[in-house]
Amino acid sequence: MPDQTGPEGVSQRLNSWKEIAAFFGKDERTVKRWESIRGLPVRRVPGGTRTSVFAYVSELEAWLSAPRPVAAPPPADATAPPISRPLLLPLAAAIAILALLVIGLVATAQPPARPTPAIPAEASALYDEGVIAWTSRTASGFATAIEKFDAALALAPAFARAEVGRANVYNLISQYTLAPAAESYAKARQAAERALSLDPQSGEAYAALGFNAFYGSHEFARSAELFDKALALAPDNAQALHWYALTSMQMGKFERPLALIDRALVLQPDSRSIRANAALIHYYAGDTEAAIAMLEQLRQANPDYLAVPAYLATIYLDQRRYADFLDSYEIAASVESSVGRQLIAKAARAALPQGGEAMLRAMLDEQQRQFLAEREKAYKVAATAALLGDKQLALTYLETSVERAETIGLLVEPEFRSLRAEPRFTALLTRLGLPQGTSSPPP
């Protein structure tokens, strides 16, 4: 039952999703969607789990009654100046003047904006659920998102934002799962282009195409043009700023990516994906302490969000904090339900008492087995080989990774610092179109 007690002046408090849903007369799924998409003021218990929530009735009522923008009414006919009879023109002259006015208007008028199709409420709800699902960055989340977006498009075939949603999923799916990159990026491009055919002024669609041009076909200049177009149409598009930051980061310089991601974070301070990637970019730029602090804070509110343990594992491994690395790596493997990485974690955990090098060798052996079983990516094997100083093995796997379009992060991933003087590594930079001689901050 809701908490009815409290100090004088303190609003009635609802202590669970069930109570919040009952307050609105909705199910829990609906109010969770409102919190993620529409800013429903739900609070979380410090140090609790993702489901440990509460809300104040006064804040919920204020959110419910917040005014919506209302279009200004057209001016009343009564405000038009009266026409006195002595000023009336002869009929022929009036017709001639009217014809000239019409010709002038036709010559100078812009094409009318395409009317926005009405989207059924059910399709909008499915879209919202799809957005929540794909931002989890897990295989199950991506599958659910595609299902939701497809269902929304079945109800509303002209729903451009649902097509953008599909593009976003396919843009990311090969980066977080073992889905084939070429096939996934092709599907993303088709969905984004269809979204633009439905809504030529969609900044979101241009952002999806910009991301796709960068990672899918390595058209870096075109990618920047598409992101610039997205921001020209929608300057406050946090997603465009976010993805522009991630792509420009891969060039190995960080002033612009930091400015872009920090602006995105101001626009959407509650976005866990933007906050996590802001931490990652700050880490690559050399601000490791700030990055760890941001991720640890994010973990308190989102303990089951994949990016947090995955990014912490990357940082801790670079710092040779092997126990902390393995703790985060195991969490990430569990969240993403990766059988291969759970086996890698098990092998690493067994070898950890013998020291960091023994742990890395056990990891490498198991990673190679999982690669052959198609449950691990080549660039992950390359990274561990590089940490162990086996440059030729690392380069062999890295060449396979580039061939499979698994990664483009050669200039920023810390594991590859030791390879930068190698001719085979330089050849990979040339093949990807990445700048030569660029280096990330020292460890």
Q: How far apart are the first and last CA of the chain?
A: 53
pLDDT at 426 over 90: yes
Q: Is the overall model pTM greater than 0.85, yes or no?
A: no
Task: Give dist(CA 319, CA 336) in Å, integer.
Answer: 24
pLDDT at 64: 67
pLDDT at 53: 76
pLDDT at 69: 40
Name the β-bridge partners of 90. Answer: none
Task: Scan for tokens 């060798």, then name that residue.
Answer: 361
3 state SS for the chain: CCECCCCCCCCCEECCHHHHHHHHCCCHHHHHHHHHHHCCCCEECCCCCCCCEEEEHHHHHHHHCCCCCCCCCCCCHHHCCCCCHHHCCCHHHHHHHHHHHHHHHHHHCCCCCCCCCCCCHHHHHHHHHHHHHHCCCCHHHHHHHHHHHHHHHHHCCCCHHHHHHHHHHHHHHHHHCCCCHHHHHHHHHHHHHHHHHHCCCCHHHHHHHHHHHHHHHCCHHHHHHHHHHHHHHCCCCHHHHHHHHHHHHCCCCCHHHHHHHHHHHHHCCCCHHHHHHHHHHHHHCCCHHHHHHHHHHHHHHCCCCCHHHHHHHHHHHHCCCHHHHHHHHHHHHHHCCCHHHHHHHHHHHHHHHHCHHHHHHHHHHHHHHHHHCCCCCHHHHHHHHHHCCCHHHHHHHHHHHHHCCCCCCCCCCHHHHHHCCCHHHHHHHHHHCCCCCCCCCCC
Stretch 32-45: mean pLDDT = 70
User: Could you tell me the pLDDT band of residue 37, with boundaries at 50, 70 and 90?
Assistant: low
Choice among 11-20, 177-186, 216-225, 380-389 with the minimum mean pLDDT: 11-20
Q: Are 140 and 180 in contact (CB under 8 A)?
A: no
pLDDT at 46: 52
Task: Give dist(CA 13, CA 42) in Å, integer.
Answer: 11
What digits encode the pLDDT tens for the residues 312-327? 999 999 999 999 999 9
Q: How far is CA 96 from the centre of its chain?
A: 58
Stretch 274-290: mean pLDDT = 94
pLDDT at 156 over 70: yes
Higher pLDDT, 374 or 23: 374
User: Could you tell me the pLDDT band of residue 99, with boundaries at 50, 70 and 90?
Assistant: very low
Give me the amino acid identity at 244.
Answer: Y
Higher pLDDT, 14 or 104: 14
Higher pLDDT, 42 or 269: 269
Q: Mean pLDDT score of the chain, rounded to an integer? A: 83
Nearest CA-CA partner of 380 in 388, 371, 372: 371
Q: Are 391 and 422 in contact (CB under 8 A)?
A: yes
pLDDT at 70 over 60: no
Mean pLDDT: which of 41-50, 75-84, 116-125 is highest? 116-125
What digits encode the pLDDT tens for the residues 326-347? 999 999 999 989 999 999 999 9
Q: Percentage of the chain with pLDDT > 70?
A: 79
pLDDT at 97 over 50: no
pLDDT at 115: 60
Stretch 185-201: mean pLDDT = 96
pLDDT at 81: 39
User: Could you tell me the pLDDT band of residue 303, with boundaries at 50, 70 and 90?
Assistant: confident
pLDDT at 234 over 50: yes
User: Could you tell me the pLDDT band of residue 59, with boundaries at 50, 70 and 90?
Assistant: confident
User: Could you tell me the pLDDT band of residue 420, with boundaries at 50, 70 and 90?
Assistant: very high
Stretch 359-371: mean pLDDT = 98
pLDDT at 282: 95
Stretch 108-126: mean pLDDT = 71
Stretch 376-384: mean pLDDT = 96
Sign of the dihedral through C-alpha 206, 208, 209, 213: positive
Task: Give dist(CA 327, CA 171) in Å, integer.
Answer: 29
